[in-house]
Chains A and B, each alone.
Chain A
Amino acid sequence: MDDTRSRLAFVVLAFGALALWPLAAGSYGLDLVTKIMVYAIFALSLELLVGTTGLVCFGQAAFFGIGAYAAVLMSPADAPASALWLLPLAALAAGLYALAVGALSLRTQGVYFIMVTLAFAQMAYYVVHDTPLGGGTDGIYLMMKPTLLGLDLDAPFVIYGVTLGTLAGVFVLLALIKRSPFGRALAGIKANEQRMRATGFSTYPYKLAAFTLSGALAGVAGFLFAVKDGFVNPELMSWHFSGAVLIMIILGGLGHLRGALVGAFAFALLQEFFKSEAIFGAFAKHWHLGLGLTIIASVALLPRGLVGLPAQWKQRLTGRRSAPAVALVEAGHE
């Protein structure tokens, strides 16, 4: 009970801090946190698959990219579009592609599933990379930024607020889903799919629904990214980006929505930290080295990710012997 309350307190505090951030931040800080919140939405979409359902998707960037390209390609050239219809369309485009990809790739399992999702993402990548559809390798600009109920999404404060609102909405939606019968079924599939089938669940439709929803949410994140930057290019769909978002949720801690949030912030802030010339001077150009070493250290020191850290400390302080059993209970396997 105490645990639930402290988790809730963490989430409320985090969103409170995000809501107050624009009062303190300059334009750089505002833009940075907007970007990180977009990553956080993206990470949450993947958490639904990897952390909740146990399906490791290595092609999530394709859905992000499709949402972003949809936002740019469906915007009229002469007048600003309304986000009220553009956002659902972007999510729909990403969701439809996810439905098609999921319908086929969910026939495979394990590492094969990882690779088939990668294959479909690479196909989407090469379609925008090699054809003139989306401006090819150069990418394409969003000339007229959409508006939302008369507010111009080009304004930094507006896009910050809209992104924060969307992040909170997605977070609440996923939290509700995890507590719903549908979410329970997904958790059951993650724990033991064979047993779920034996108890009479047809698991395929559940997995497909989760995959489609995840793709649509990734599309929402892509839409926000395109509107924020006003520019899309094929790199949004590259496997590096699919890999990066996977790293975010593993770093944060799988199986927890907070993990996706924390992981997105940790990953992006570590990047900013090691890239900072004020701290590292000329060595900042080699920022991958620091990031890589930190990631390796986190695997060694944080087996349950950043959100598992308090429990890990508590365990060490109280010196409980039955560590594996505790871990199992915490992970919800018992």
Chain B
Amino acid sequence: MRGRVGKPCPMDLATFLIQCLNALQYGLLLFLVASGLTLIFGIMGVINLAHGSFYMIGAYMAYALAPIVGSTFGGGFFATLFVGLVLSVILGYVLEWVFFSYLYEREHLQQVLMTYGLILVFEELRSLIVGDDVHGVQPPPWLSGTLALGEVMTYPVYRLFISAVCIALALGMYAVLTRTRLGMMIRAGSANREMVQSLGIDISFLYRVVFAAGVAIAVMAGMLAAPVSSVYPGMGNSVLIVCFVVVVIGGIGSIRGALLAAMLIGIVDTFGKVFVPQAAGVGVYLLMALILLWRPQGLFKAA
């Protein structure tokens, strides 16, 4: 997620455009991971520290599954994505069933404790299965070209592809949430859990679906980002904190808020690295502190 194109230099139009595209791509990826987090948080009331691990698992899937899928189904980028999607839905469904369904009645801090334990377990399983090396992942050949911007600048097609897929997924999510019966139940659950339950909706099934979907989206984000960011130990943790920032700035449970917050962070982080590289790390957190002091409940309260 972090790799950058373009170097810090006085801005001309092409550089500016490239940085805008970088900000867009980073923000959209953040949005994908954070949207699952904010839904799980808003609807189930679970603070899931292990959500960053799903991003990490996705990236490692992109690295480890590609050869396996290649030898079994004859390969293909989309086949790998599809296998990853299926596996992640199963993973999310089973995890919710085995671990998280016991947490809803517990205090928040018990949830923090358990999901912290899960982070450690996921990281070590990753280390046992795939090892601790940093790996590069190749984008598919038909997406590995570059696009000319201005006279000297180019922009990799794969990054545009990431943004396009993220936008498509975001629109799909929007359609499901606003146009389907399931989406209606999810929105209702986010607004008032007890009421939904007392209206006779099978809340435990709803939880399982939302959790599996959240995991699947985070895994997708990881798989998409792998060719850009490369695959390395601890990549989930760095994403996790930024995603919490997104969720909190946007307002817990609000998808719209998460989108806006993710774009803001994409812009602040990308341009912060260009203009003030010494203090780039602070920018995102400064933004969060300022927004929360202005609006202590985030930009949007749960929709």
Contacts and interface: CB of A to CB of B under 8 A. Distances in A.
Interface of A: 50, 56, 104-105, 107-109, 111-112, 115-116, 118-120, 122-123, 125-127, 129-131, 239-240, 243, 246-247, 250-251, 254, 286, 288-289, 291-296, 298-300, 303
Contacts, number: 122
A126 B116 contact: no
Interface residues of B, number: 43
A126 B119 CA distance: 24
A130 B47 CA distance: 30
Given A115-B292, A119-B285, 20 more contacts: A112-B298, A116-B289, A119-B288, A119-B292, A122-B241, A123-B289, A126-B281, A129-B281, A130-B279, A239-B241, A251-B113, A254-B109, A286-B128, A288-B120, A289-B124, A289-B128, A292-B117, A292-B119, A296-B99, A299-B113
24 contacts: A56-B108, A104-B293, A107-B296, A109-B296, A112-B296, A112-B297, A118-B241, A118-B285, A119-B245, A119-B289, A126-B281, A126-B282, A127-B282, A129-B281, A131-B278, A240-B237, A250-B110, A288-B124, A292-B116, A295-B114, A295-B116, A296-B117, A299-B110, A303-B110
Interface of B: 41, 47, 49, 99, 102, 106, 108-110, 112-114, 116-121, 123-125, 127-128, 237, 241, 244-245, 248, 252, 278-282, 285-286, 288-289, 292-293, 296-298
Contacts of B296: 107-109, 112
A1 B152 CA distance: 81
A249 B299 CA distance: 32
Contacts of A239: 241
Contacts of A247: 112-113, 116
B278 A112 contact: no
B120 A292 contact: yes
B292 A112 contact: yes
B303 to A, nearest CB: 17
B252 A111 contact: yes
Contact of B281 (A108, A130, A254, A288): A130
